């Protein structure tokens, strides 16, 4: 095996895990920020923002604050404008599909 192939294999695995985790949280946060209806969230202290942080924390086994999640989405929007627009279109399609069922 060529040394560059070995380096690439060693480098790829941890980066992929972080990328998937990071983008998954962005997708979740963007969807909840756009579509969650705080009137439908039940329980004491479960406003949309609290529910978002709790859900992201449960999914990733890390503590997330609402401010961190909002900043993550805004940073993604700023750094990857085209991908952000595509993401929002896909989330709109997903929401429309499930709302029509």
Measured distance CA(73)–CA(8) in Å, rounded: 29
User: Mean pLDDT score of the chain, rounded to an integer?
Assistant: 76
- Per-residue model confidence as pLDDT tens digits over 54-99: 888 888 888 888 889 889 999 999 999 999 999 999 999 988 998 8
Model confidence band, residue 43 (pLDDT cutoffs 50, 70, 90):
low
What integer is the mean pLDDT of 21-29?
A: 80
Measured distance CA(36)–CA(49) in Å, rounded: 9
Q: Is residue 37 helix, strand or coil?
A: coil
- The answer, yes or no, to whether residue 4 has pLDDT greater than 70, is no
- Number of domains composing the chain: 1
- Taking alpha carbons only, the member of 13, 26, 28 closest to residue 78 is 26
Measured distance CA(19)–CA(45) in Å, rounded: 31
What pLDDT does 46 receive?
A: 56
**Domain range spanning residue 25?**
3-100
Model confidence band, residue 25 (pLDDT cutoffs 50, 70, 90):
confident
């Amino acid at each position: 095996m060529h040394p560059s192939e070995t380096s690439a294999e060693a480098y790829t695995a941890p980066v992929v895990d972080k990328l998937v985790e990071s983008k998954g949280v962005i997708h979740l946060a963007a969807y909840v920020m756009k579509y969650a209806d705080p009137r439908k969230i039940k329980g004491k202290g479960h406003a949309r923002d609290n529910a978002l942080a709790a859900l992201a924390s449960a999914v990733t086994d890390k503590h997330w604050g609402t401010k961190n999640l909002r900043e993550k989405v805004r940073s993604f929007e700023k750094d990857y404008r085209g991908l952000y627009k595509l993401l929002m279109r896909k989330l709109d399609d997903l929401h429309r599909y499930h709302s029509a069922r």
